[in-house]
């Protein structure tokens, strides 16, 4: 794989990782509601989950989903249901927790990683990256390289969203502002379902 191809993968990953989408909206809300440190497992989970989707697509799952549309439909339904649940959970959050003893919490690493398996943006990115950049000459190495470059770009890119949320904590310590912010984040998460409905 050439340096130009690696640079192209990095740029593709940067645009996909830093642009708005379900995971980034959740990170923004989580950073605001729980702070950056408590959101770190969720940040790591996004990169771990996206990497697992990339590997699965690169090693044949993408072809299986294309060959058997009911699998894709089941994933869309599961993804939509989970996104609606998360949107409700975010929209109903009403206070920036001041301590660690609150029952509200950000997504765990495993929950965040599992979410990528029903995240439409993750699947679009994985299918596009593998179709555009995977080599037929050495598919195993190219799939690993695409996944590695994407993970290296994805982790700091999505962390920016949690950082933005954490920076808003003081401004949103007003319960009314936080209420409307969380409702807006919930609605944006619902709006991110649009790719699934087309």
Q: Which residue has the tokens 């990170």?
A: 27
**H helices, E strands: number in the chain:** 10, 0
Q: Which residue has the higher pLDDT, 193 or 99?
A: 193
For 133-185, how does the pLDDT look when each residue is reduced to its tens digit (9 = 90+)?
988 788 889 999 999 999 999 999 999 999 999 998 888 888 888 888 888 88
Domain chopping of the chain, boundaries: 39-95+106-197
Predicted pLDDT of residue 17: 92
pTM of the model: 0.82
21: DSSP letter: -
Sign of CA dihedral 69, 74, 80, 83: negative
Q: Which residue has the tokens 């950082």?
A: 163
Predicted pLDDT of residue 103: 66
User: Could you give the CA distance from residue 28 to residue 136 in angstroms, rounded to a whole number?
Assistant: 38
Spell out the SS3 assignment of 125-180: HHHHHHHHHCCCCCHHHHHHHHHHHHHHHHHHHHHHHHHHHHHCCCHHHCHHHHHH
User: Could you give the CA distance from residue 145 to residue 33 in angstroms, rounded to a whole number?
Assistant: 35
**SS3 state at 7:** helix
Predicted pLDDT of residue 50: 97
């Amino acid at each position: 794989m050439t340096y130009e191809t690696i640079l192209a993968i990095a740029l593709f990953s940067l645009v996909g990782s830093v642009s708005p989408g379900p995971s980034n909206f959740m990170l923004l809300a989580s950073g605001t509601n729980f702070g950056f440190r408590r959101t770190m497992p969720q940040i790591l989970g996004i990169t771990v989950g996206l990497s697992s989707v990339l590997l699965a697509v690169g090693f044949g799952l993408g072809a299986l989903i294309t060959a058997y549309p009911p699998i894709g439909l089941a994933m869309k339904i599961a993804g939509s249901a989970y996104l609606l649940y998360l949107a409700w959970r975010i929209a109903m959050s009403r206070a920036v927790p001041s301590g660690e003893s609150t029952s509200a919490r950000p997504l765990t690493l495993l929950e965040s990683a599992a979410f990528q398996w029903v995240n439409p943006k993750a699947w679009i990115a994985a299918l596009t990256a593998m179709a555009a950049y995977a080599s037929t000459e050495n598919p195993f190495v190219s799939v690993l390289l695409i996944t590695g470059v994407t993970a290296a770009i994805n982790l700091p890119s999505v962390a920016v969203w949690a950082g933005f949320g954490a920076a808003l904590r003081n401004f949103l310590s007003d319960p009314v502002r936080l209420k409307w912010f969380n409702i807006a984040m919930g609605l944006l998460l619902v709006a991110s379902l649009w790719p699934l409905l087309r």
